[in-house]
Amino acid sequence: MSKNSNRFVLQESNDEFKYNKSGPDINVKFNRIAFIFFVFFIISIVYMIHLIHLGSRKSDLSNNNQLKIINKLHRADIVDRNGYFLAKTVSSIDIGINPVEIIDQKKLLLNLGYIFPNKNYELIKTRLKRNKFFWFEKKISDENYEKIMMLGDKSIQAEEKLTRIYPQKNLFSHIIGQIDDDNIGISGLEKSQDKKLKNNKSSTQLTVDKNIQFLIREELIKYNKVFRAKGSAAILMDVNNGEIISLISLPDFDPNERTNITDTNYINRATKGVYELGSVFKTFTVAAGIHEGVIEPETKFKNLEKSIQCEKNTISEYDKKIPSDLTVEQILIRSGNIGSVRIGQAVGLEKFKKFMNKLSLINSIEFDIEEVGIPISFEWGKCKLATASYGHGITTTILQLANAYSIIVNGGYKVSPTLIKKEKNLKQEKILKNDVSNKINPILRKIVTNKEGTASLANIEGYEVGGKTGTAQKSMLGGYSKNKINTFASVFPISNPKFVFVVMLDEPKTNSEYVYNYLDGSGIIHKGTPFNTAGWTTVEVVGQIIKKIGPILATKYNEVY
């Protein structure tokens, strides 16, 4: 009997009947196996998808963490007015060693010594004995990175990091400042602009000029040695908008080294140091008199004493040959002490104080960095008015001095010193009368050109330099020392002022071997520093610097400044 679905075969045998099933039996077995395989296959696919999903989540988490780290370490670049990098965030590689992974220590040290010959390998051996991971070289150069990785030693481990570098090294150290290992600004613009630098993607552009800064710094370093000064400072400032083109304080430091500086000699002398600056204040006394309408340059003071008594103090002329009858102009040119006192007394205490505050000389001043000194407060009185009139017993910073001179010579317009490039603001507040600059500027020029003046060494042909010198004994607890602060506040070109350039030497000394070449075309040469005054030290420095930076400023002024 047969059917299409099942087939039975009956066979007759002597022994028994046999039942055979063929065909469909094989198919049933195959279908079961295929079903089981299919189930396992589906389960495997599900697990694989799950594993891939978990792996991708881990990868996403890792990427997110990495992005968080990068964002945390990000700081905007800082560039000068011409686009040169002053501070930049770059990717760098640090190399570490895990002593546990070292196979042949002797061979490793031999290879490292070949690549890094200047390392202290006794110290490295001590670290290896501790069997703890340590950093061997941070911010490794590309060349040395290739060499060390070619060693193929498992103990050498590399880690890529974002790091802050300062391509100009010491050149802008007091301006830019430093960050710590946690990417937090601790000084300079890195500190005052910390939040902005972390949040901004675009570069922060400054007003300073790398090339001008370099030239001024080189000359300051040179003359610090010539006059054996403890330190020095210089500020070059645009008198019309307050932009600082150069700001230097020596000694300086390399911010790339991340050194914790505790030596007070590294103070920012340009902005933080507070000094008595002497006769540079006489310009303000004369300006106050003109502003208040109590004197004119031709006003004559007769029978000026050689010395006057103020309480227990005696005020004397530094030059005993100075005439007793002097005009206001002559008092400023010859830097007369007694004449300056009489002008201050003519102005009066309250008006004199108000004028000094108007110029932001005796109070704190706002600036782009936090390292700004505060002038020492004092009680005003008749004697304080007398001494302040010629720059004695009154303090300020080099920054404030440069700012005040800018106002005096620019037509009497208020300016605010700045390091950060801003959009031009044409609106300026006029705080002094028109005739102050018109009458003061020619006198400042005569201080440089006249024989009676104290700044003839700065008479650089073609630049119309004017200015005022200041020589002051350095104040100390309980009195004054023999050490001096020598300052020269220069302005050029005086017929149409563009720049104020102030240089200060901290504790300069005379130099018997230095040769002075007079710059007035006379051909006179003088060997040796006859007096430790600003006229023979700081003025010489300013003259030599203007000779070098003058052509660059003259070329760039219409295009950049």
Query: 11: pLDDT confidence band, cut at 50, 70 and 90?
Result: very low
Confidence (pLDDT) at 182 = 83
Most confident of 60-69, 249-258, 436-445: 436-445
| DSSP run (H or E) holding 417 | none
**Tokens encoding 13:** 């045998």
Topology of the domain comprising 212-556: Beta-lactamase (3.40.710)
Residue ranges covered by each domain of the chain: 1-73, 78-205, 212-556
Query: What is the C-alpha to C-alpha distance for residues 169 and 548, in angstroms, rounded to an integer?
Result: 22
Confidence (pLDDT) at 458 = 95
Q: Please tell me the least confidently modeled range out of 41-55, 280-294, 353-367.
A: 41-55
Confidence (pLDDT) at 59 = 39
Integer angstrom CA distances of residue 29 from 4, 19, 280, 373: 20, 19, 111, 96
Query: 16: pLDDT confidence band, cut at 50, 70 and 90?
Result: very low
Residue 443 pLDDT more than 60?
A: yes
**Tokens encoding 464:** 């119309």
The length of the chain, given as a count of residues: 561
Query: 104: pLDDT confidence band, cut at 50, 70 and 90?
Result: very high
Confidence (pLDDT) at 373 = 97
Q: Residues 338, 306: contact at Cβ < 8 Å?
A: yes
In the chain, what percentage of residues exceed pLDDT 70?
86
Query: 561: pLDDT confidence band, cut at 50, 70 and 90?
Result: very low
Query: 479: pLDDT confidence band, cut at 50, 70 and 90?
Result: confident
Q: Residues 399, 271: contact at Cβ < 8 Å?
A: yes
Query: 521: pLDDT confidence band, cut at 50, 70 and 90?
Result: low
**Tokens encoding 100:** 């546990």
Confidence (pLDDT) at 520 = 55
Burial of 489 (0-12, 13-18, 19+ CB in 10 A): buried
Query: 434: pLDDT confidence band, cut at 50, 70 and 90?
Result: confident
Q: What mean pLDDT is reported for the chain?
A: 88
Burial code of 314-331, b = ≥16 C-beta within 10 A, e = fewer? ebebeeeebeeebbbbbb
Q: What is the pLDDT of residues 143-195, one digit of tens each?
A: 999 999 999 999 999 988 888 999 999 999 999 999 988 889 999 999 999 99
Nearest 5°: the CA angle 382, 385, 390 is: 140
Q: What is the pLDDT of residues 131-148, one digit of tens each?
A: 999 999 988 988 999 999
Query: 32: pLDDT confidence band, cut at 50, 70 and 90?
Result: low
**Tokens encoding 71:** 């964002």
Residue 19 pLDDT more than 60?
A: no
Q: What is the pLDDT of residues 110-136, one digit of tens each?
A: 999 999 999 999 999 999 999 999 999
What single-letter amino acid sits at 360?
S
Best CA proximity match to 406, nearest among 290, 249, 551, 283? 283
Best CA proximity match to 207, nearest among 89, 78, 370, 75? 78
Cα distance from N-terminal residue to C-terminal residue, the chain: 116
Integer angstrom CA distances of residue 34 from 23, 27, 29, 40, 368: 17, 10, 9, 10, 79
Q: Residues 503, 453: contact at Cβ < 8 Å?
A: no
Q: Please tell me the least confidently modeled range out of 5-9, 320-324, 326-330.
A: 5-9
Query: For the domain bounded by 78-205, which CATH number is listed?
Result: 3.90.1310.10
Query: What is the C-alpha to C-alpha distance for residues 145 and 157, in angstroms, rounded to an integer?
Result: 11
Give 235's strand partners.
Answer: 247, 502
Confidence (pLDDT) at 29 = 58
Place of tokens 């922060």: 204
Confidence (pLDDT) at 497 = 97
Confidence (pLDDT) at 526 = 86
Mean pLDDT of 271-288: 97
Residue 287 pLDDT more than 60?
A: yes
Residue 223 pLDDT more than 60?
A: yes
Peptide bond into 251 cis (omega under 30): yes
Measured from the Cβ of residue 118, the count of other Cβ atoms closer than 10 Å reads 5
Q: What is the pLDDT of residues 242-268, one digit of tens each?
A: 999 999 999 999 999 877 878 899 999
The model's pTM is 0.81
Confidence (pLDDT) at 173 = 97
Q: Residues 550, 460: contact at Cβ < 8 Å?
A: yes
Give 92's strand partners.
Answer: 161
Q: What is the pLDDT of residues 338-363, one digit of tens each?
A: 999 999 999 999 999 999 999 999 99
Confidence (pLDDT) at 52 = 55
Confidence (pLDDT) at 555 = 86
Residue 76 pLDDT more than 50?
A: yes
Mean pLDDT of 288-314: 94
Q: Residues 269, 373: contact at Cβ < 8 Å?
A: no
Confidence (pLDDT) at 39 = 65
Integer angstrom CA distances of residue 212 from 222, 423, 443, 467: 16, 22, 28, 20
